[in-house]
Amino acid sequence: MHKKIISILTVTALLFGATVMAHTIAKKGMRADLVLMPKFLGILVFDQANNGAQEAHKELGNPGKLEFLGPTPENSVAGQIEILTTATTQGQDGIMISNNAGDQIAPAAKAARAKGMTVVTWDSPIPSADGEQLFIAQVDFNETGMVMADMALNIIGPGGGEFAVLSATPDAANQNAWNASMKEHLKDPKYSKIKLVDLVYGDDQSEKSYNQALALVDKYPNLKLIMAPTTVGIAAAAKAMQDEGMCDQVKVSGLGLPAEMVSYTLNGCAPEFALWSFVDLGYLSYYATYMMATGQIEGVAGETFKAGRMGYYTIEKDPTRDKGLRVKMGPFSVYNKDNVEAASK
Amino acid sequence: MVKYLSQVRPEKQRELVLLLLILLVVIFFAMMIPNYLNARLFNRVSTSVAIMAVLAIGQTLVVLTRNIDLSVGSIVGFTAYFVGQQLSHNNEIEPMVAVLMAIGVGALMGGFNGILVAYCRVPAIIVTLGTMALFRTLLVEYSDAQTVLTVNLPQWLLDFPRLNVLSHGRLHLRFVVVIMLAVVVLFQLFLRFSSFGRKLYAIGSNPEAANNAGFPTQRIVLISFLLCGALAGLTGFLFLARFGNITVVAGIGFELKSVAAVVVGGVNIFGGSGSILGATLGAILIDLLENSLIRWLQISEFWRDALLGLLILTSVATDSIFMKRIRLYWAKRHAPSTS
Amino acid sequence: MGWEGFLLVVLLLIICVNSFNSLAFLTVENQVNLFVLSVEKIIIALIMTFIILNAEIDLSVASMMGLAACALGWMVESGTSTSTAIGLCLIIGLVGGAFNAYWITIVKLPSLVVTLAMLIGFRGLGRVLIEDRSIRVFPPWFENLGQQPILGPLPLSILIFLVLLVIAVVILQYTGFGRYVYVIGISQEVATYSGVRVARVKTILFMVSGLISALAGILFSARLGSVRGDMGLGFELDIITMVLLGGVSIFGGAGSIYGVILSILIVLYLRNGMSLSNVTGHIQTGVIGVILILSAMIPNIKSWLESIFDKKYAP
């Protein structure tokens, strides 16, 4: 008798578990024409994301096309809207956007949705989530602020001091979210000794970021740190400090690519910085978009799917915005002189 | 005063006015900003002027012939990228070879402009507006929108901006500044004392007369564009050394700055008058203003461009009104006696 | 009819190639979209036609666009009602144009230099107002202005363009003012001796140019829903290409607005066709650059063709 109950219970438990853990494994070979749109062309991290997406495209054996289209940096906002509108006209099945156009792109995104196109954002979402089905978040954006504040505290030290933020473009949703979250975290008494004196924009362009970094040290002679949550900005700021011979006085930190930062970390200009894998981000975004465009998943909260080599991810409500769903990719990697060389290979 | 006006050539007077203006600007800002006059200012201004001044000299050559080159920004971007790319793939390339490469590529692009302007008789503003776009497209396509990374560049290039020729305490005379000075001296002497230089001025003053006198006008205009492109290429090399990371928007806006420096420096936009020294002083004045405004916390640095526009207008207006009078006076005083 | 006829043939060719290339080309949605995406440029091209016919040039148009947009954002952010701000921005356009006109007609500086200086200056003023930020505080009715279909599928911006187009054609072809514009372009001295008030005509042209540029800036802000200091960077290239390709000579005095209408269509359709083939923005710009150079060679090509024609058929 006991045996029977146990076996029934076991089977029920297994069945229950199976339905709770119902996950979709991608069916290969289905056709979907997809577009990967970075903020603009010419930045290494977006090329890495493209590599990840191409990898996923091959793995899934999608007979459709994967286009990598982006605007020029000085025309990013209008250019992104134009590319999205064109993709809608062409009747593409899905588009993955790293949004640099704030909410201005929402009308075009809604028009795309109305035509049945799958619209997924990655790296930087549409702030109002209008027109966007899903956001692939590389990390939790609130956590980013904390990581930035922690690195600042770590580098400036217990004596305290002034620091400034060198951001990318003023429209970038991810930049604004990270800066806002960092300012929130700075209110905590733990950070009371470090002071944020300015926030400037380098537009993700080396030359402008370089000049902004120089302008910061000219304006604030007591500056101890430049925090640049953009891979272009952090590399340019580090070079600027190195060229001026100011690495002892002013350190550089933020979000950077080990490949670009290795010499600056080893010589002390940029002792610590963080990032995640853009290749993985592209890969994951592709899987999610492919599965949604081919109807394998619906894109609602609670759904779980397997993204190839990366494992299982669940769609959840995005806690960092008022509306919107997200899939959170993965952890930060913090780099310093111990691990940066290995990571840069 | 009158005696002075009749002794010194009008162009020299213009240069002296510029020098005076620069001095005034320095004094003004030294009064307004604490710790303004220090070694850091000199280092900063001298290195950033070096890039602009070389470009302004190239632009001067073209403007003297009554033309303009709006494509220099794209030439700078392309050569910076091209040389950066070559160096990334092959760190063993000699520095001199890299510089010559930059100059050569720049000269080729300048030559393209020159042929269209001189031989196809298309107005320079149109040609260079078009090549500004074309060369930038070339850059994007060639680079495949990738960025040149500092990590791949040879160490000597990365150290270049910091290379000093002389040092006195914290005051550095950087190698890049010496390059600029060499270019200035070379071209100033070249224009003043060579027959090519004289022909350049002649063509700008009166193209028909020059043609009638049998000058090889077309060839000279072509050469001026070639030289402008070559200097833009050299600027590209300096740009690469300074910024390291070259993206597809490298050099955007440089053409405007070079024309501004040239115009402020007293070179007549209709050609025929002006000097290399003047253009260099113009570049220094503009860069000094920019760097000073950043430090002056009373006024937002964003006034920089608005002030620059105004500065250009007043320079050209002053030239148009006063220089004409001074030149007439000078011509009268020094006319060969006919009696 | 020679040059316009040639343009018509090219236009038809482009339409055929585009339709063949992409089924979506001839849809209403695509046609409306491609005009909406470039409506700011084509509006300015209309006034640029007048200015170039007049043997002048206005390089500051895109910067005035940016300045008006920045001023709009700054005023709305400071609490001004959007409608009042729009009116004030249009006035800023007029004032800017008058400023240009002053240096050109009174101080008698070449328009190339003046508008080049203002290309830098106007954009600088815009940056003084909103610095490095981007402003997004417009009410929803303003943002819908650009996108909402009003007459059939046509939104307000396209209607504005069509109205301005009609006005431009009428003024240029059928009024005395239009004739003055041509005459001054052919020879300023002749015009002055004939009693044409040259300074007045030029002042009006540059003030209207400023006004239209400001209008374009406002429409651009409405379409994007936000303003930034570097809006419209590089628009001069397309605008001048449209005018020159239309057969208007850079030296002034020759060309017609009908040619410009055709060349506007050619440039827009060319860009749209390239977009639909996923050709990137850079290549599109490069192609436009080549077209610009070729179109400036038109007078040379025309006379070269004519000389060959004459030689062949000389009696």
Tell me, letter by letter, the H, E, C secondary structure of chain B: CHHHHHHCCHHHHHHHHHHHHHHHHHHHHHHHCCCCCCHHHHHHHHHHHHHHHHHHHHHHHHHHCCCCCCCHHHHHHHHHHHHHHHHHHCCCCCHHHHHHHHHHHHHHHHHHHHHHHHCCCCCHHHHHHHHHHHHHHHHHHHHCCCCECHHHCCHHHHHHHHCEEEEECCEEEEHHHHHHHHHHHHHHHHHHHCHHHHHHHHHHHCHHHHHHCCCCHHHHHHHHHHHHHHHHHHHHHHHHHHHCCECCCCCCCHHHHHHHHHHHCCCCCCCCCCCHHHHHHHHHHHHHHHHHHHHCCCCCCCHHHHHHHHHHHHHHHHHHHHHHHHHHHHHHHCCCCCC
Which strand (E) or helix (H) includes residue A254? strand A251-254
> Is A104 an 8 Å CB contact of chain C?
yes
Query: Which residue do the tokens 């301005």 mark?
Result: C164
User: How many Cα neighbours within 13 Å face the side chain of A187?
Assistant: 5
**Quick check: C281 and A71 CB within 8 A?**
yes
What are A334's strand-pairing partners?
A: A274
Which positions in chain A touch C133 (Cβ < 8 Å)? 170, 201
pLDDT at A251: 94
Q: Which amino acid is at A271?
A: P
Q: Give me the residue spans of the domains in chain A.
A: 11-17+21-136+278-330, 141-275
Min Cα separation B293/chain C (Å):
13
Centre a 10 Å sphere on the Cβ of residue C194 and count the other Cβ atoms it contains: 12
Asked if the Cβ–Cβ distance from B147 to A73 is below 8 Å, we say: no
- Which subunits count as partners of chain A given 3+ CB pairs below 8 Å? B, C
User: Pairing state of beta strands A272-275 and A251-254?
Assistant: unpaired
pLDDT digits (tens, 9 = 90+) for B29-71: 888 877 777 777 788 888 888 999 999 999 999 999 999 999 9
Instruction: Kindly report the nearest CA distance between residue B252 and chain A, in angstroms.
Output: 9
For chain C, list the contacting chains (3+ Cβ pairs, <8 Å).
Answer: A, B
Q: Chain A residue with minimal CA distance to B48?
A: A211
**B269 and C112 in contact by Cβ < 8 A?**
yes
| Beta strands A161-167; A194-201: pairing state | parallel
The pLDDT assigned to A7 comes to 66
Answer whether residue B185 shows pLDDT above 90. yes
Contact C132/A103, CB-based, under 8 Å?
no
Number of A/C CB contacts below 8 angstroms equals 67
B1–chain A Cβ distance below 8 A for any pair:
no
Chain pair B-C, CB pairs under 8 angstroms: 135
B44 contacts A206? CB cut-off 8 A: no
User: Cβ contacts (< 8 Å) between A41 and chain C: which residues?
Assistant: 280
Per-residue pLDDT of chain C (315 residues; tens, 9 = 90+): 578 888 898 899 999 999 998 888 888 888 888 898 899 999 999 999 999 999 999 999 999 999 999 999 999 888 888 889 999 999 999 999 999 999 999 988 888 889 989 998 998 898 888 877 777 778 878 877 766 777 778 888 899 999 999 999 999 999 999 999 999 999 988 999 988 899 999 999 999 999 999 999 999 988 887 788 777 777 888 899 899 888 888 888 888 899 999 999 999 999 999 988 888 888 888 898 898 888 888 777 777 777 777 777 666
Are the Cβ atoms of C224 and A78 closer than 8 angstroms? yes
Q: Per-residue pLDDT for B298 more than 70?
A: no
CA distance C60 to B202: 31
Chain C residue with the nearest C-alpha to that of A202: C132
Is the Cβ–Cβ distance between C49 and C245 less than 8 Å?
no
Q: Tokens for C64?
A: 């005035």
What are the chain B neighbours of C288 within 8 Å (beta carbons)?
A: 133
Whole-angstrom distance, CA of residue A69 vs CA of residue C10 = 28
Q: Is the CB of residue A249 less than 8 Å away from at least one CB of chain C?
A: no
Structure tokens that stand for A131 in this block: 């027109």
Q: Are B146 and A215 a contacting pair at CB < 8 A?
A: no
Cβ-based contacts of A43 with chain B (< 8 Å): 147, 247
- Average pLDDT score, chain C: 88
CA C139, CA A217: separation in Å to the nearest integer?
A: 39
Task: Name the residue facing B244 among A74, A239, A259 (closest C-beta).
Answer: A239
Query: Under CATH, which number does the domain A141-275 receive?
Result: 3.40.50.2300
CB of A109 within 8 A of CB of A131? yes
Q: How many residues does chain C have?
A: 315
Q: Do A43 and B147 touch (CB under 8 A)?
A: yes
Q: Report the residue of chain A nearest C33, measured CA to CA.
A: A85
Chains A, B: CB contacts within 8 A come to 80
In sequence order, which ranges of chain A are alpha helices (DSSP H)? 2-20, 44-59, 76-90, 106-114, 141-156, 173-186, 206-219, 231-244, 258-266, 278-293, 340-343
Residue C191, Cβ density class (10 Å: 0-12 exposed, 13-18 middle, ≥19 buried): buried
| pLDDT value for C59 | 92
Q: Under an 8 A CB cutoff, do B321 and C112 touch?
A: no
Cβ–Cβ gap A81/C224 under 8 Å:
yes
Are the beta carbons of A85 and C33 separated by less than 8 Å?
A: yes
- Over residues B219-269, the pLDDT tens digits come to 999 999 999 999 999 999 999 988 888 888 888 889 888 998 998 888 888
**Fold entry, domain C3-313:** ABC transporter involved in vitamin B12 uptake, BtuC (1.10.3470)
ipTM over 0.85: no
CATH class given for the domain over A11-17+21-136+278-330: alpha beta
B145 to A70: CB separation less than 8 angstroms, yes or no: yes
Interchain CB distance below 8 Å, C117 and B316: yes
Planar angle of CA A189, A193, A194, nearest 5 degrees:
105
Q: Are B131 and B137 in contact (CB under 8 A)?
A: no
- Judge: C289–B304 Cβ closer than 8 Å, yes or no: no
pLDDT tens by residue, chain A, 345 residues: 677 777 676 666 565 555 444 678 888 888 899 999 999 887 888 988 999 999 999 999 999 999 999 988 778 888 899 899 999 988 899 999 999 888 888 889 998 999 999 999 999 999 888 899 999 999 888 888 999 999 999 899 888 899 999 999 887 889 999 999 999 999 988 888 889 998 988 888 888 899 889 888 888 888 999 999 999 899 999 999 988 888 989 999 999 988 888 888 988 899 999 998 899 999 999 999 999 999 888 888 888 998 888 889 999 998 888 889 999 988 888 898 888 888 776
Three-class DSSP labels, C94-155: HHHHHHHHHHHHHCCCCHHHHHHHHHHHHHHHHHHHHCCCEECCCCHHHHHHHHCEEECCEE
Any C CB within 8 A of A41 CB? yes
What pLDDT score does A20 carry?
45
Alpha-carbon Rg for chain C, nearest whole angstrom, is: 20
- Residues in Cβ contact with A36 at an 8 Å cutoff, skipping those fewer than 6 apart: A49, A50, A53, A66, A67, A68, A69, A95, A96, A282, A285, A286
Contact C209, C129 (CB under 8 A): no
In the Cβ-directed half-sphere of B115, how many Cα atoms lie within 13 Å?
A: 6
Per-residue pLDDT tens for A255-289? 998 888 888 898 889 999 999 889 999 999 999 99
Asked if B256's CB is within 8 angstroms of C120's CB, the reply is yes
| B contact test, residue of C63, C128, C235 with most B CBs within 10 A | C128
pLDDT at A92: 92
pLDDT at B47: 85
Interface residues of A toward B, Cβ cutoff 8 Å, are 41-44, 47, 70, 72-74, 205-207, 210, 214-215, 218-219, 221, 232, 235-236, 239, 243-245, 259-260, 262-263, 344
The two structure tokens encoding residue B232: 């833009």
DSSP code for C314: -
CA distance B285 to chain C (A): 16
Q: Which residues of chain A have a CB within 8 Å of the CB of C278?
A: 67, 69
Instruction: Pick the closest to residue A39 from A232, A242, A243 (CA basis).
Output: A232
Check CB contact under 8 Å for A170 and C132: yes
Who wins on pLDDT, A256 or B160? A256
- Tell me the nearest-neighbour CA distance from A197 into chain B, angstroms: 13
pLDDT value for B1: 58
Highest mean pLDDT, choosing among B150-154, B169-173, C203-207, C306-310: C203-207
Rounded distance, CA C216 to CA C49, Å?
A: 16
Contact A239 B249 (CB under 8 A): no
CA distances from C68 to A102, A106, C54, C100, C217 (A): 21, 24, 25, 15, 6
Nearest by CB to residue A42, choosing from B147, B242, B301, is B147
Scanning every residue of chain A, which has its alpha carbon at the shortest distance from the alpha carbon of C30?
A89
Helix (H, G, I), strand (E, B) or coil at A319: coil
What residue in B sits closest to C229 (Cα-Cα)?
B302
Q: Do residue C224 and residue A104 have CB atoms under 8 angstroms apart?
A: yes
Do the Cβ atoms of A210 and B243 come within 8 Å? yes
Nearest-5° Cα angle at B31, B30 to B33? 65
**pLDDT per position as a tens digit, C130-183:** 877 777 778 878 877 766 777 778 888 899 999 999 999 999 999 999 999 999
Fold matches, A11-17+21-136+278-330 and A141-275: yes
* C179-184: long-range pairs with CB below 8 Å, 24+: C181/C50, C181/C53, C181/C54, C181/C205, C182/C53, C182/C253, C183/C253, C184/C54, C184/C55, C184/C252
Residue A31: both structure tokens together? 């056709």
Q: How far is CA C286 from CA B124, B247, C60, in A?
A: 17, 18, 22
Predicted local confidence at residue B320, as pLDDT? 77
Compute the C-alpha angle C130/C134/C138, nearest 5°: 95
d(CA C312, CA A167): 67
Q: Are C225 and C159 in contact (CB under 8 A)?
A: no
* Long-range Cβ contact pairs of C279-285 (< 8 A, separation 24 or more): C280/A41, C280/A69, C280/A70, C280/B140, C281/A71, C281/A72, C281/A75, C281/A79, C281/A82, C282/A72, C282/B136, C282/B137, C282/B140, C282/B141, C282/B248, C283/B137, C283/B140, C283/B141, C285/A72, C285/B133, C285/B136, C285/B137, C285/C234, C285/C237
- For an interface test with A, give the residue of C30, C63, C134 to mutate (most A CBs within 10 A): C134
Strand pairing report for A304-306 and A312-314 = antiparallel
Q: Which two tokens stand for residue A183?
A: 């300012």
Number of Cα atoms under 13 Å in the Cβ half of residue B338:
3
Residue A97 C-alpha, separation from nearest chain C C-alpha, in angstroms? 16
Task: Please identify which residue in the block is written with the tokens 């004094």.
Answer: B27
- Chain B residues in contact with C116 (beta carbon < 8 A): 256, 259, 312
Q: What is the pLDDT of residue B152?
A: 76
Half-sphere exposure for B208 (CA within 13 Å, toward CB):
0
Q: Do C234 and A102 touch (CB under 8 A)?
A: no
Chain C residues with CB within 8 Å of chain A CB: 22, 24, 27, 29-30, 33, 37, 132-134, 136, 143, 147, 224-226, 228, 230, 233-234, 275-276, 278, 280-282, 285
Return the pLDDT at C98: 96
Beta bridge partners of A201: A167
Q: Is B250 on the interface with A (CB under 8 A)?
A: yes
pLDDT for position B322: 74
| Residue B17 C-alpha from the chain's centroid | 19
